Amino acid sequence: MITQLRGRLVEKSPTSVVIDCQGVGYLVNISLFTFGQLSDDENIQLFTHLQVREDAQTLYGFSTDLERQVFRLLIGISGIGANTARTMLSSLSPIEIGQAIQAEQVDIIQSVKGIGAKTAQRVVIELRDKIQGIVADAGIPTSINNTNKEEALSALVVLGYQTKACVKVLDELIGVDSDMSVERLIRNALNKL
């Protein structure tokens, strides 16, 4: 199984990339989240998932291992195929999906195009326990009592900073001033990262 690709970026679109690895070009389907994480640098690395069916072999690429783990959990749910999982990861970040599942916020999952009420409930019920370990390993806060911290963390992760480092800096800043606005949290965290 192809688990990662490292090579030269040949083509880039919001739904796919072509990576040249030692003269072989791989077409890799990506989410908008991964597209936003890709730099304009020629050399890239993507974590991948190879889906083999009777009529096709499709390669999906992810900027982080966390995103790939969430994708694999999602495609394990009855009624969610690879394209629906990719749509979910295009609409919500892996962190947002994990937090919505933990908080049992069915409405957030249902807000994704193509996800109905029953499927959203199934996602929350079936992944509630499984997502716990993945989220804990990634250093994502499991409680949702400080929305300013969560919003700041989400913004910093999207900017490309490591989650664990961001959580540490944000905890220090909130320890000094627990009522700090999201904008001030982001600005101050950027100065410390």
What digits encode the pLDDT tens for the residues 142-167? Answer: 444 457 787 888 888 878 888 788 88
Is 76 a residue whose pLDDT tops 90? yes
Residue 133 makes CB contacts below 8 A (sequence gap 6+) with none
CA 150 to chain CA centroid, Å, is 15
The kind and range of the H/E element at 101 are helix 94-102
Q: Which fold has domain 147-192?
A: Helicase, Ruva Protein; domain 3 (1.10.8)
Q: Among 54-63, 66-75, 139-148, 149-158, which stretch is predicted with the lowest mean pLDDT? A: 139-148
Per residue in 107-135, is it b (16+ CB within 10 Å) or e — as a string? ebbbebeebeeebbebbbebbeeebeebb
pLDDT at 151: 81
**95 versus 138: which is more confidently predicted?**
95
pLDDT at 64: 92
First and final CA of the chain: distance in angstroms? 36
pTM for the model stands at 0.70
Class level of CATH domain 4-62: mainly beta
Assign domain 65-137 to its CATH superfamily.
5' to 3' exonuclease, C-terminal subdomain (1.10.150.20)
